[in-house]
Chains A and B, each alone.
Chain A
């Protein structure tokens, strides 16, 4: 089996499965958010913050944010590995991507539980 030290799950099959599972979670989250916004045209702050104060919504959102992190890394790893041939540039770009993903994840946790 060919292993790679920079992809997500160290095996292509594992990455393939994680990409599908995270895609389905993100699709469901997207449909939920679009549906919620469509069915609440005159949305106010109380309804909006009330939604995100629910424990199930925080769990659902954190699940989506973690899925974004995995999904974005596997997708961007694939794209950068395909097009950025010089090792130095590729590793530099991939390092920046990992940092940005980490910032998004911490930011997301702070939005859900902070303030």
Chain B
């Protein structure tokens, strides 16, 4: 490798193309979902433990603003991760594996997941 080649390590001067941003967001939402498993398993555990536990989870999701925000946040992360994952599977079966196709699929990913994020918000509230 030519050790004299120019290297730009100043990230603030690099413009990320949309596919790069959706790729990073796919990773970030994956990490969020992993941490969010604590809330998901907690809710499943308590809601299945007894009728009182079920009501406690239902009451939290119906009235507690913090619980609503966590639920909406996790559903949003799940929606984006889901859609970006479908994009990955499409690339695996050779659909749209071109520069234009990549940008197009990233745009579709952003639009579809934005719609799902709004629908998730409507569902939670």
Indicate the size class of the contact surface on chain A.
20 to 34
In chain A, positions 59-97 with a C-beta closer than 8 Å to chain B are 68, 72, 75-76, 79
Q: A30-B78, A104-B37, A107-B41 are in contact. Are A23 and B85 (CB under 8 A)?
A: yes
Interface secondary structure of A, over-half rule: helix
Name the segment of B48-56, B97-105, B107-115 touching the other chain.
Answer: B48-56
Once the chains bind, are A48 and B54 in contact (CB under 8 Å)? Answer: yes
Contact partner of A76 among B30, B47, B86, CB < 8 A?
B30
Q: A23-B85, A27-B85, A30-B82 are in contact. Are A108 and B48 (CB under 8 A)?
A: no
Q: Residues of B with Cβ closer than 8 Å to A? A: 27, 30-31, 34, 37, 41, 44-45, 47-51, 54-55, 58, 78, 82, 85-86, 88-89, 92, 123
Q: Residues of A with Cβ closer than 8 Å to B? A: 20, 23-24, 27, 30, 38, 43-45, 48-49, 52, 68, 72, 75-76, 79, 100, 104, 107-108, 110-111, 115
